[in-house]
Structure formats: C-alpha cells, structure tokens
Amino acid sequence: MRRIVAGLILSVSLAAAASAVEPSERLADPALEARAQALGETLRCLVCQNESIEESHADLAHDLRVLLRSRLAAGASDRQAVQAIVDRYGEFVLLEPPVRPATYLLWYGPPLLLAFSGIAAVAWVRQRRVTTRPPATLSPDEVKKLTALLENQ
C-alpha cells in the first residue's frame, strides 16, 4: 500500500514539474497558447539556466512567460516576440544560441575536443604497444635452444 501511495505522489509531483505555466498565464486562444508554449521551450530560465521558461517555477520565468504571451497576443510574430526578449535579456536567454563567429567555440569546441582526445588516446595506445613488445632478435643462447627444440621434433 505504501508503494502505491509513494508512486502516486511521485507521479503527481512529476506531472506538476512538467509544466510550470499557471492557469492565469494561459491564453484563451488554443493556437496562440500552443505557439507560446513552443516558443517558451526555446527560451532559457535565467535563474535555473538548465530549464526552459515553460518548465521553471522561478519568478523571472513567470515574468518571461507573461511577456512572451503578451507580445503574441498583441499580434507579434514568433520571431518578433522572441527578439523582444533577446533584446531585453541578451542571447543567453536562448537555449540554442545562433551559430556565428562569437559562438563557434560553443558549437564546435566539444566535438573538436572529443576528436582530439580520441586521436591522443589512439596515439598513446600505439606508442605503448610499441614499447612493450619483446625484442625481435634472439640472443645466441636463444637461437641454440630454438634450434635444439626444432631438431627434437
């Protein structure tokens, strides 16, 4: 019985965390609300930083959701509504910043670091394999022992 109650509490808490949009924030038009939710998923909560404004319970995320919805309700396009928030808070508010020279390191740094690490690991393994090999030439004693073994067959 305790497991069932714990499971219900967990599922209710996870469902509540899935969307932090309060009923008072929702727009009356379902199509406009769907646009606002889709755009909200692309904007970062500046307090939490790893959540979108749609997922965050922070006061600033609430303010951003209200601002976004008010822009959309005023007739702004998706791009104009997002640009108004970017103009106010900077590009950091975007969960996926645009690819431009200032963000090349952000976009291409991790793959380059991974490739460099892979190349370094392969080179290290090859170098280690070369140094741990036994010598290719036999000493005179080893040649005599090998000859004796081969003749006894």
Q: What is the pLDDT of residues 71-123, one digit of tens each?
A: 988 888 889 999 999 999 888 898 888 888 988 888 899 999 999 999 999 99
Which tokens sit at 49? 């930083």
Residues 45 and 69 in one domain: yes
pLDDT digits (tens, 9 = 90+) for 5-36: 555 565 555 444 455 666 666 666 778 888 88
- With tokens 């190349």, the residue in question is 119
Tell me the per-residue pLDDT of 35-65, one tens digit each, with 9 for 90 and over: 888 888 989 988 887 888 888 888 888 888 8
Q: 86 with 108, same domain? A: no
At residue 43, φ and ψ (nearest 5 deg) are -105, 135
Q: Is residue 150 part of a domain?
A: no
Domain final residue, candidates 98, 115, 148: 98
CA dihedral (7, 9, 11, 17) positive or negative: negative
In a domain, residue 145? The reply is: no
Q: Say yes or no: 71 and 41 in one domain.
A: yes
Give a yes or no: residue 114 inside a domain. yes
Q: Which domain holds residue 58?
A: 2-98
Looking at the structure of the chain, the number of domains it has is 2
Same domain, 70 and 93: yes
pLDDT greater at residue 4 or residue 18: 4
From first CA to last CA, the distance across the chain in angstroms is 76
Same-domain check for residues 89 and 104: no
Is the pTM above the cut of 0.85?
no
Any idea which residue has 């030439």 for tokens? 137
